[in-house]
Amino acid sequence: MSIHVVTIEDDPQYRSSLELLFSRTGDFELVDSFGSPAAALACLDNGGSAPGWDLVLMDVDLPGMNGIDCTRRIKQRLPDTAVVVLTVFEERATIIKAICAGADGYLLKRTSAAELLTQLRAIAMGGAPLSAGVARTVLDLVRRIGPVATGEPDQSGGADRFALTDRELDVLRCLVEGMSYKRTAHQLGISIDTVRGYIRSVYSKLQVHNVAEAVSRALREGIV
């Protein structure tokens, strides 16, 4: 079954490159491509093919409405649709605003085509992709705000309290270090599918929904 992808990107050349990429990839189907948030939201308002949107690739610097506000609007209307920010911006404030708006992932445009597809497949399996540099930014922020928000880390044994297995802890530590699924698999000597299974289990036990939330809780609760 194909993953139905939508692009919202105002650069015609880059938008065309995404369209070409998905046209050559059997497990993705590009169902809509927009040059502005207004056009995408108009499609939602008019019914269009929006109910078939599985994943939206969202630029940040867009005409009329920025991608962060558009992400918020789409997530309000289609909460089960994954929105992945795909941009050149690496500023901490932009990353955090996007995540707070509901973005399910944050990738940089310099990401290779092969890695982009790998990350998008990961989100289709319930992951939340972050480019390595973005993951480090989120991690740094969480480390800064964690003690302020929650006081001293819990000393009662975070891993035991959440019933995390040794292998789940290993995977969680890799997430905290900002590793990709592929690098985590290589680091631990297991398959990417096995990594995904462990991550789904970690999310369930920690009661989180994405990488940023998992890393935040792991650090705040003193799990790793």
**Higher confidence at residue 141 or residue 119?**
119
Cα separation values, 82 from 123, 130, 174, Å? 8, 13, 23
Residue 217 near residue 206 (C-beta atoms within 8 A): yes
Residue 203 near residue 212 (C-beta atoms within 8 A): no
Reply yes or no on whether the pLDDT at 154 is more than 60.
no
Confidence of residue 128 (pLDDT cuts 50, 70, 90): low
Q: pLDDT digits over 64-76, tens only?
A: 999 999 999 998 8
| CA 129 remoteness from chain centre | 4
- Residue 147, pLDDT score: 44
- Residue 42, pLDDT score: 92
Reply yes or no on whether the pLDDT at 199 is more than 60.
yes
Q: pLDDT digits over 83-108, tens only?
A: 999 999 887 778 878 877 888 888 88
Q: Which of 193, 170, 173 is nearest to 181 (CA)?
A: 193
Confidence of residue 51 (pLDDT cuts 50, 70, 90): low
Ordered by where they begin, the domains of the chain are 3-129 (3.40.50.2300), 134-220 (1.10.10.10)
The phi and psi torsions of 128 (rounded to 5 degrees) equal -140, 90
Confidence of residue 135 (pLDDT cuts 50, 70, 90): low
Residue 153 near residue 223 (C-beta atoms within 8 A): no
How many of the other CB atoms lie within 10 Å of CB of 120? 25
